[in-house]
Chain A
């Protein structure tokens, strides 16, 4: 495995290797000297075509804790905003001997382009591309769930998966790379996923995903759930007729105080509430829910650094166990497609 582009083809073995390595890395964060020499002399470029301070500083912290040199390359204020192409940017980084490129891009598939085009030899880590994938977010979510799930069952989390865990992902699935990456990864790890959203915010084709789909948040809660993941509603959706009003959205699809109380009433005392951040308090999640003891929002942020350390370390050290099916995005060869004459 050379790149981390999506979770769709990430094998169970690789996923668990990343989570187990992240667990080792998390111990580093608890030391007084939060640093390992593992990637000394290696160069990691954070190539951000889209603003995301949170994700960038998480990757930056991860690379620095592994002693890598970090270059932050933001599209704003760089030649990219003057119209330089992805190809030229990639070749520039190649000429600077980047070992890994962490790319955040507004265009779905940009990391796959970078990895498969031959423009650059570095390892490519997808830090979120358009409405496609955000694999390290899904991995940090899975890491957070696994720690909780193992604690409940009183077993060690190393080597474990999420078999039997019921996860509900709520909100704008259509535009969410977080939801897509979680659906595939959680399926691989054995969790049972239900997507809950207004029908306008589910993609055509969602019926082929390995999960359940519901329009009814309360019915899904009532059926029992171990983790609730609330997705951010982007401001640009609010005036595009995806839903009538933010108030109606909050009433039907938001995790409000009443639903927080309902968890207690249903005796779901161990159910956790997750959010990838940044949160719209009062819209998709109430402050009481966000700040409750059930909330894992800050644990997710903390775990993000560990998971990204693991991804960088495994890709750059070559210690990712090789398999027959690498986790790079599929590159269909230009062969005749499967359409055959009907005769």
Chain B
């Protein structure tokens, strides 16, 4: 649609070689040092000296809340937040109202995403009707719909019935789909409020034991092996889960895993405040878990970072801990938290960052035009990051409607300077620019 071209001058590509990137007609038209004047004729120049260029981030785990809870978030506000956070694609979880368990609902969300134009919105389809765990949703119809759903999840609720899980894993093989499991044994977590351990004992809050996550993951990797299907484990939160996934990968089982930024940084000690901004599912865990998750992300046992961005209206958090909703916002802080925990700590490079935030999530979700190399002819989904910037997290200044950021008040490294989506700058100079207009709209 747009023939506008942009010259990104002297960016550090994936944190290593410095080069210019020419963006034209939605693709990367040229890459090289000091591109000559004839090549870049008419392009808007963006000085990217000192900035890192990365493939646009892809979130496999976002709650956009629309339809049904537009008071918490809409596709428009959630995708604005995503663009500001450096994303060019998000997967919208199915627990909307109505649940995204039919072709009609996933097409609605898909259309809202295209109309917003800030990032690609890939709806996640529910595994079971109404997330109730009783009957498979019309997975094939969602896969064949305009939304072309490939990721299916009852996220928020575990597909706990082993037969239902087996059938779902088997069925999605027909269209190369993946089941993204929220691993939580329901009986072991009735009324659960926080990680079960030393802190829960002190605070008198009902415990959410690690075994409730680990036992489901153990079962599911064995089911995935048995039926030869793809399993994705959402928001892995314990050291024990990491061990099981490592074991499964060593056996060649087709399993991928995700960790959230908050589980890479925060621990259960924060719950001692009884401030529900720290209430999330799965819960914040112990120091030793945080270390294990970081190591697992660095060595590839955990494949990706998924935000589990979960905006809530303020009244859902301004209450007693037990009455509060679970969840935290994350789209606008993910990059900084991963930089803080993984890059500043020396565990990962920016190249690794691109792998866990873009390349691998795009592959798991079978999103073909995202997570691509910064090479000539590739779609121009690019984010420019200033790694030297430091900023104070202020939830009130965010684009998401949710004010429930557990990082409020922290000073974090790394700032998104620009986001290019299909060659169009959705974010420029760290501020929202204009949305991309899809053809045919």
Contacts and interface: CB of A to CB of B under 8 A. Distances in A.
Contact of B319 (A86, A116, A208, A209): A86
B375 interface: no
A205 B201 contact: yes
B265 A339 contact: yes
Contact of B201 (A110, A177, A204, A343): A204
A108 B273 contact: no
Nearest to A333: B409
A172 B275 CA distance: 27
Contact of B265 (A109, A332, A336): A336
B209 A204 contact: yes
Given A107-B321, A204-B197, A208-B198, A337 B204 contact: no
Ordered nearest first, which 9 A-B pairs have the shortest CB separation?
A341-B345, A109-B274, A205-B201, A132-B204, A131-B204, A107-B320, A203-B201, A205-B198, A107-B322
A108 B204 contact: yes
B196 A85 contact: no
Interface string B71-103: 000000000000000000000000000000000
A192 interface: no
B272 A332 contact: yes
A184 to B, nearest CB: 9
B320 A110 contact: yes
Given A85-B315, A85-B318, A107-B321, A337 B270 contact: yes
9 contacts: A85-B319, A86-B323, A108-B322, A110-B320, A177-B204, A180-B204, A205-B200, A331-B273, A334-B406
Contacts of B193: 108
Contacts of B291: 339, 342
Interface of B: 193, 196-207, 209, 265-267, 269-270, 272-275, 287, 290-291, 294-295, 315, 318-323, 340-341, 344-347, 406-410
Interface in A182-197: none
A49 to B, nearest CB: 9
A112 B272 CA distance: 10
A338 B288 CA distance: 11
A335 interface: yes
Interface in A250-265: none
Interface in A67-114: 85-87, 105-110, 112-113
Contact of B196 (A106, A116, A204): A204
A4 interface: no
B287 A335 contact: no
Contacts of A332: 269-270, 272-273
B322 A334 contact: no
A110 B294 CA distance: 33
Contacts of A108: 193, 203-205, 274, 321-322
Nearest to B199: A205
Contact of A341 (B198, B315, B346): B346
A329 B408 contact: no
Contacts of A105: 320
A8 interface: yes
A203 B410 contact: no
Contacts of B407: 334
Contact of B197 (A110, A205, A343): A205
Nearest to A133: B204
A339 B267 CA distance: 8
B59 to A, nearest CB: 23
Contacts of B203: 108-109, 132
B267 A334 contact: no
A206 B200 CA distance: 10
Best-surrounded residue of A8, A105, A107, A206 (most CB of chain B within 10 A): A107
A130 interface: yes
A329 B274 contact: yes
B370 to A, nearest CB: 30
B345 A343 contact: yes
Given A209-B201, A329-B274, A337 B346 contact: no
Contacts of A131: 204-206
Interface in A313-343: 329-343
B324 to A, nearest CB: 9
A338 B346 contact: no
A337 B290 CA distance: 11
Contacts of B205: 108-109, 130-132
Contact of B321 (A109, A203, A329, A331): A109
A87 B321 contact: no
Best-surrounded residue of B318, B340, B344 (most CB of chain A within 10 A): B318
Contacts of B209: 204
Best-surrounded residue of A130, A131, A331 (most CB of chain B within 10 A): A130
A338 B200 contact: no
Contacts of B321: 107-110, 113
Contact of A334 (B198, B287, B410): B410
Given A85-B315, A329-B272, A8 B347 contact: no
A343 B321 CA distance: 35
Nearest to B318: A87
Contact of A203 (B207, B270, B272): B207
A108 to B, nearest CB: 4
A341 B346 CA distance: 8
Contacts of B269: 332, 337-338
A231 B193 CA distance: 24
A8 B199 CA distance: 13
